[in-house]
Amino acid sequence: MSADKKDYERICMEYGITNFRGMLKKLKKMKQEQGDDITEDSEMVTYSKEECNEIQHSLKQVGKKHDAELYSMDVDGATVDLKAPDVDFAIKIQEVMAEERQDAVFTCVLTGPLDEIKWFCKNMQLSNGEKFEITVSEDKLIHKLMVRDCLPLDAGIYVAVAGIRSCNAWLVVEAPDVDFAIKIQEVTAEERQDAVFTCVLTGPLDEIKWFCKNMQLSNGEKFEITVSEDKLIHKLMVRDCLPLDAGIYAAVAGIRSCNAWLVVEADKEGSSKGNKAARKNTMVVGGDDEDLLRIAKEQQERYQKEMEEKLAQSERDAAEEAARLEAQAAKKRSDEAKAASKAAARAKKAEAGVEEPSIKAAGSGSDVTVEPHLVEQSEDNEVGENSLFMESVEVDEVTGGDGAPVQDIVKGNDHGEGTAKPKSEKSGKKEKLPKVIVSQITDGEDAAVGNDHGEETAEQNSEKSVTNCPKEKIVDGKDAVVDPGVHFHIGLSDCKAIIGEDAELVCKLSSEDCEGIWYKDGEEIKSTEAMTIIKEGSYHKLKLHKVPEEFAGKYKFEADGRKTEALVVVEDPPRFNREDLKTFINPVTVKKGHKATFRLAYMGQEPIKVQWFLEGEELSDAANIKLETSDGCTRLLLMKLQRKDSGEVKLKLKNEFATAEALTELIVLDKPTPPMGPVEIVEASSSAIEIKWRPPKDSGGCNIGNYILERQQVGRNTWKKVGPIGPLAKYRDLDVDHGRRYCYRIRVETEIGTSELMETEDIQAGTKAYPGPPSTPKVVSAFKDCINLSWTPGNSGGTKILGYNLEKRKKGSNLWGQVNPPDEMIRAKGFAVKDVVEGMQYEFRVSAINNSGPGEFSTPSEFVFARDPKKPPGKVINLKVTDSSYTTLCLSWTKPKDIEKVQDEAKGYFVEIRPAENTEWNRCNSNLVTTNFYTVKNMKSLGMYWVRVIAINDGGEGEPQELDNYVLAMPPPVRPRFTDTKIKSFMVVRAGNSARLTMNFEASPWPEVTWLKDDVPVTKKVTISNAEGTSQLLIPSSERSDSGVYTVVVKNIVGQETFSIEIRVTDEPKPPGPVEIEENVPGTVTISWTPSPDEKRDDRLHYMVMKRDSTKGTWLTVADHIFNNKFTACNIMPGCEYQFRVYAKNDMGSSKPSESPKWLLSNKKEKFTVNIPESKTWDLQCPPKFLVPLKMHTAPQGYECYMSCALKGDPTPHVTWLRNNISLNTNTNYYISNTCGVCSLLILRVGPKDTGEYKVVAENPRGRAECSTKLTVRE
């Protein structure tokens, strides 16, 4: 019972068991009995509803750990044994590296066929869809997973699972290696204008990232990001530029980036008027659109060419890989076929020694003999899960004792039809089948035995049929002759036919002798002139000639009861006549100003959309373009053509079936452009002048015939025609005089015309051109008896450099001495100087020599000691960070120790940094640092860096000294703090106006800024702009609902700080209602009024009452800040007429008044007596006296300072201001005033010279008084 199913047949052969069905039934019953005993010890393996859409069942593990592959499943009370397929990976999936937006393919090869394997990524099973495509080869050995349109999110580990085997591999998605063909440029825009940054990439990219002030930008009301159709041109538009928008903007494409400034100029006109500048409809663009389009087109062509090369290479690689895999699979199949043949041979030998017993059927005296086929095996020699061991039993009729038929045994199998073909069919050989005698057949028992010889394979489209299988009766116990029947090797496939062209349907039968019948839509068809039926061996073909629309339909081929079907769809796509197309694709060449005509006939089902393109741009009717389309023909006429109109002309036709295109080229001939400079002087000797230049940028579409030269001797007015010199862009003039200067004019001549001229500079014949100075000599090595030098040549002076002269000078001397002998120049670019004295310092210089002679000397080298090399220095000591910011890092260290014969003194230092994500060190200073401190600049904000310092001397570099930990590019941690000293906590805004709050702060690291309104985050209506050290809140058009307490929260890792500002949005209030007057107490009146309509909406609204009487006639305020609707006025005089006004007031101002009716109280006149007291004379004169003295003052530099004091005196005293005992009354830099005894001094801009003691002296005839103070100026 523990044997594998594939060994069942071998075991039956060994023990002489011939009743396969009986053996299988008994084995099944024994397993059921054993399953009941082990169910209690079984471990449940759960199935979820998502994993199985069939009926609910349980899966129980049978046996122990060593039998982990065998399971039993209970379905409706029946037990079925399942076994995981025993396959492994012959070739596992490998790591795949793909660029972004490319497709990636994982491929694996199994050791045995399997319908499907499972693919996983990130703990999720993958299935066919838009993102993934899973394919299996016909032999079910090669399995592939395609990941379409790879993105960085798709990177990760992918797993392939086949049964209990699995393998995995990485998918690495690399960012596209693109660069900037044109970087963004600085843009200067006026306030309220739109600004546009533009860049061009070297390869297409769906999007790039834009940054400003360390924040990534996205599409919205402020910014608009656009990409061209070819994904090469990327633009960023900054709408409605304000001064706050100025700064550095950066574009990032993959690992490349570029940046530029946006400069916003204030609107002088608007600011001078004190109003907000008006929105402008103009925009400022950085870069020329025509140049951008031209460069983008060049980049696109270059990119397409590279992609085509890569695609061709990938196709070649894929073909090689497929061939390799196919070879491996073929070899594996061959090995398995050999193994199967050996197994069959062993089985035949075993059969030869087995006795064939004869058993009579119950109820009859006759034996029934059948011939079973061998077990059908898959390509890996394994038996399927539900396969039986008798492939087929074919008996025409079995009779009982009365001669009546007991049961028909038909050809079939136990697990359905249509399985793979047996291996004997694939190899083309017929296997010899053993005879087996059926022991017993009872009435009512199903004796039909299945077979695996289905008539169609997985890829065939034929119908399943087992009805017309040939049969033979068994007579007198003789052996039956088995005929396997006819089946399809290749079925019909659906076909799309083009109207008017030929089409063909083909199928292949297993027999060449079988005939068949063709049907169309259920009706039999015969060969006619329009269709031909052909039989070529086992192939049956139906050829359709010049297919008309009526040929569309369902076609069927039937042979010996088997049939296969296919659909023929007749389409009429747009297409061209071959001869007309050959004529059309020939380039059309015309001259400038002429016209060109393109005409091409076409055919296809209407409606057909006709489009003409020139260089990818669709054409439409215009002044110089005419498009004509008639029935089956289209025509394009281009008039007044210019050279720039040259390019590719494309005709595109499209209907419901397909799209057709035809390409040709338009060449417009014109005069060439002038030759391109600058002119290179090859030789300028006393006997000849030789020059060369570059051909014209555009030859006008023609080959260059000649260059026409003219020559002028400088100082003369005439030009001498040298004549055509041929198509080569060079000329050697031998007719020159030594010392004369000449100028040349050059034109290009083609068959169309002559170009404009290019004029050269003056060229002198016979001038000596000395070489330029070489580079500064470099000391390669130094010893006590030799110093090795090297250098690089400079400008050759137009001729070949013959050699060099080398000179040396001792330190402290003014004399240079030549190193090499005067008559022996140095040929090489280096020299070993041996004429040196040990311990002395030398410097060197070198000059080049050509045919004209020696040139200028180079700059001297550094002084070098003539001594043996030094030992490299040791590590620096006490390396530490002294200060840091977001972009800089300050370091300090102590020089390394000087140990004799171990390490010498350091001459200087190099500082190197390495970002944490990189492995390479970058040197910060190109020249040696001689001090013990250094500041690293241009660091990335909040970047993580490793830092080290290397000491160096003439002996080489010492060992680097690194910091113990990495360093963050950020200033020392600072708790957020608001820097504005005078911040208002209350703001009133008129409804409809904008409200703007700007908060300046300092914090490190960069904090998170949050704005709240009434402890709730602000709405999207409010615009928040954050920059370095500042945050701004903007309400574009305020409403009363925007009133509230706004809080800004600045938070970082050190702490947080908050500040709240109350914003009140209001408007001038509406006036109160009617005013009434009532007298309750004599001498007083009560004024009452109806509340203003705005009282409920504004809690700060109050009222003011004014009074006017008939005696004075002026309005006086009698009450203010009244928060109710009544007021009692006192001192109301009888006989006087009164009138009152009531105003509603809030933070924005006052409303219009509401007036009361006039109020008059009758007056009873009485006699009025006045007693005037006697007047007395008083002497009010007194000496000066200070009532309020001067105060001490401390003023910031550049600000104003105001000093004041108060005094009295009679007569009015004379006041004198003094600074450091020097009178200031006549100094125009000070503003002095004396009003009603209040003396003041104003300094408009305080400077250091204003520091000192200030004194006020007051004098009158009665006396003198002084008062002094000190002024301190703070920087």
Mean pLDDT of 851-862: 88
In the predicted model, is pLDDT for residue 295 greater than 60?
A: yes
Model confidence at 351, pLDDT cuts 50, 70, 90, reads: low
| pLDDT value of residue 1163 | 63
Give the per-residue pLDDT at 469: 35
Using pLDDT thresholds of 50, 70 and 90, give the confidence band for residue 423: very low
Range in 427-436, 632-641, 938-947 with the lowest mean pLDDT: 427-436
What pLDDT score was predicted for residue 163? 86
Contact 705, 727 (CB under 8 A): yes
Assess whether pLDDT exceeds 60 at residue 637. yes
Amino acid 1165: pLDDT: 61
443 pLDDT more than 60 = no
Contacts by 36-40, CB closer than 8 A, 24 or more apart: 38/62, 38/63
pTM for the model stands at 0.31
Q: What is the signed CA dihedral for 302, 304, 306, 307, rounded to 10 degrees?
A: 160
Q: Does residue 446 surpass a pLDDT of 60?
A: no
**What pLDDT, on a 0 to 100 scale, did the predictor assign at position 16?**
63
Cα separation, 602 vs 660, whole angstroms:
10
Could you tell me if 861 and 845 are in contact, meaning their C-beta atoms sit under 8 angstroms apart? yes
- Confidence at residue 392, expressed as pLDDT on a 0 to 100 scale: 32
Q: Is it the case that residue 375 has pLDDT exceeding 80? A: no
What is the predicted pLDDT for the residue at 783? 87
**Looking at residues 112-136, what average pLDDT do you find?**
91
Specify which of 322-326, 1136-1140, 1266-1270 reaches the highest per-range mean pLDDT: 1266-1270
> Which residue has 């394994």 as its token pair?
382
Q: Which residues are within 8 A (CB) of 517 and not within 5 positions of it... i.e. 6 or more apart? A: 524, 557, 558, 559
Q: Which residue in this structure is represented by tokens 């000059």?
A: 847
Mean pLDDT for 503-530 is 88
Per-residue pLDDT tens over the stretch 750-807: 988 889 989 888 888 876 677 889 999 999 888 889 999 999 998 877 677 889 999 9
Q: Please give the pLDDT value at position 1025.
A: 92
User: Could you report the per-residue pLDDT of 937-992, keeping only the tens digit for each?
Assistant: 988 888 899 999 999 987 788 999 999 888 888 888 888 989 888 888 888 888 88
- Residue 571, pLDDT > 60, answer yes
**Beta bridge mates, 170:** 157
Q: pLDDT at position 35, please?
A: 53
**What percentage of the chain exceeds 70 in pLDDT?**
80
In terms of pLDDT, which residue wins out, 768 or 237? Answer: 237
pLDDT for residue 676 is more than 80 = yes
Q: What is the DSSP string of 1057-1071?
A: EEEEEEEEEE-PPPP
Q: Where are the alpha helices (DSSP H) in 606-666?
A: none
Scored b (16 or more CB within 10 A) or e, 1252-1263 reads eebbbbbbbeee
Strands 1023-1027, 1030-1035: pairing kind: antiparallel
pLDDT in the model for residue 57: 40
pLDDT digits (tens, 9 = 90+) for 839-849: 899 999 999 99
pLDDT > 70? residue 18 = no
Across the range 1014-1039, mean pLDDT stands at 90
| pLDDT (tens digit per residue) in 190-220 | 888 899 999 999 888 888 999 998 889 999 9
| Contact of 1104 with 1120, CB cutoff 8 Å | yes
Provide the mean pLDDT of the chain. Answer: 79
Taking the alpha carbons of 1147, 1149, 1152, 1156 in that order, is the dihedral positive or negative?
positive
Instruction: Note the pLDDT tens digit of each residue in 453-505.
Output: 333 333 333 333 333 333 333 333 333 334 456 788 888 888 888 888 899 99
Q: How confident is the model at residue 1006 (pLDDT cuts 50, 70, 90)?
A: confident
pLDDT band for position 4 (cuts 50, 70, 90): low
Q: What angle do CA 1255, 1261, 1266 make, to 5 degrees?
A: 15
Residue 69: pLDDT over 80:
no
Burial grade of 220 (CB within 10 A; 0-12, 13-18, 19 or more)? exposed
Q: Tell me which H or E stretch contains 27.
A: helix 20-38
What pLDDT, in 10s, does the model give residues 704-761? 889 999 999 888 888 988 878 888 989 998 888 877 888 999 999 998 888 998 988 8
Q: Can you tell me the mean pLDDT for 509-528?
A: 88
Kindly report, residue by residue over 1088-1108, the tens digit of the pLDDT.
999 988 888 787 889 999 999
* Percentage, residues of the chain above pLDDT 90: 29
**Predicted pLDDT at 51:** 40
Residue 1177: what pLDDT? 78
Task: Place 438 in a pLDDT band, splitting at 50, 70 and 90.
Answer: very low
Nearest to 556 by CA among 521, 587, 530: 521
Predicted pLDDT of residue 651: 92
* Predicted pLDDT at 66: 34
pLDDT digits (tens, 9 = 90+) for 70-102: 444 444 444 444 455 678 898 999 999 888 878
